[in-house]
Copies of this chain bind each other. A is one copy, B any other.
Amino acid sequence: MMVEEQSSLTECALFQSLDPGRLTSLLGRVRYGRRQYALGETVVRSGEACDHLRIVLSGMLRSEMTDENGQVVEVEMLAPSRCVAPGFLFGRDRRFPVEVKAHQDSSLFIMERGSLIALFRLDDTILENFLDIVSSQVQFLARRLEEMAFGTIRKKILDYLHDLSREKDGYCRLDRNLEELSGFFGVARPSLSRVLGQLEREGFIQRKGRGRYRLVSLDKAQ
């Protein structure tokens, strides 16, 4: 392994807080490999079994939601030190959710799941680092789902205000009270109040008394 590859490995979140000498000694006790990929080469296909840990040593990978699932194509760049889909090595559905290709000539560290478990047994730091990586992914995804759900209420409210007829001063009067409105939007009443408050604080809407709102800028808010 070249010097820069070695440092990509020690800087990987999986080996965080681990002495490089200790890492070398631990890796001497398990099986692992290294593989090169030329620009454009496929590293893993979407749906392929995920039974090896892969860490980018050099170059750059590009992951994308493939069209086989009919999804929006989403792309993530994986720079040196990044693990490839660590959240899919265990669990019910151990298959790559994405297609991964070499975006540059790249070099990868590859290790079977069994060797990874052996490392967990040999070193608590590695185990806790892995738990941190996967758990952080749960936390990130849960937050993104919340944001998407949240974005939906925001959009509903702004669209609704946009559609209401205006008074002369630009204010519109809600034609439902908050209770009715929360039923109309299919959200809990406190959530609705909270989103309205947030939109007001962010300057997207202005409130003038009970149930009267002015839309400051629809474009800015969406």
Confirm or deny: A110 has a beta carbon within 8 angstroms of a beta carbon on chain B. no
Query: Nearest Cβ in chain B — how far from A203, in angstroms?
Result: 16
Taking a contact as CB atoms under 8 Å apart, the answer to whether B65 and A146 are in contact is: yes
Residues on B with beta carbons closer than 8 Å to the beta carbon of A138: 87-88, 91, 134, 137-138, 141
Query: Nearest Cβ in chain B — how far from A22, in angstroms?
Result: 18
Taking a contact as CB atoms under 8 Å apart, the answer to whether A152 and B72 are in contact is: yes
Chain A stretch 84-102: residues in CB contact (< 8 A) with chain B: 87-94, 97
In the complex, which of the residues B73, B132, B149 contacts A191, with contact meaning CB atoms closer than 8 Å? B73
Confirm or deny: A139 has a beta carbon within 8 angstroms of a beta carbon on chain B. yes
Residues on B with beta carbons closer than 8 Å to the beta carbon of A152: 72
Taking a contact as CB atoms under 8 Å apart, the answer to whether B71 and A131 are in contact is: no
Question: A72 and B139 in contact (CB under 8 A), knowing A131-B134, A144-B145, A194-B67?
Answer: no
Chain B residue at minimal CB-CB distance from A190: B67
Q: How many residues of A contact B (CB 8 A)?
A: 53
In the complex, which of the residues B73, B135, B142, B146 contacts A188, with contact meaning CB atoms closer than 8 Å? B73
Question: A117 and B121 in contact (CB under 8 A), knowing A72-B150, A131-B90, A146-B69?
Answer: no
Which residues of A are interface residues toward B (Cβ below 8 A)? Answer: 65, 67-74, 87-94, 97, 117, 120-121, 124, 127-128, 130-139, 141-146, 148-150, 152-153, 187-188, 190-191, 193-195, 198
29 CB contacts below 8 A, A to B, read: A68-B194, A69-B194, A70-B150, A70-B153, A71-B191, A72-B153, A72-B187, A73-B187, A73-B191, A87-B135, A87-B138, A88-B135, A89-B131, A89-B135, A90-B131, A90-B132, A90-B135, A91-B131, A91-B134, A91-B139, A92-B132, A93-B139, A94-B135, A97-B142, A117-B127, A130-B131, A138-B138, A141-B145, A148-B148
Given contacts A67-B194, A71-B149, A92-B135, 12 further A-B contacts (CB under 8 A): A67-B190, A72-B188, A88-B135, A90-B128, A91-B136, A92-B136, A93-B136, A94-B135, A117-B128, A127-B127, A131-B134, A141-B145
10 closest residue pairs by CB, A with B: A91-B135, A87-B138, A67-B190, A141-B141, A70-B194, A91-B136, A90-B131, A90-B135, A73-B188, A72-B149
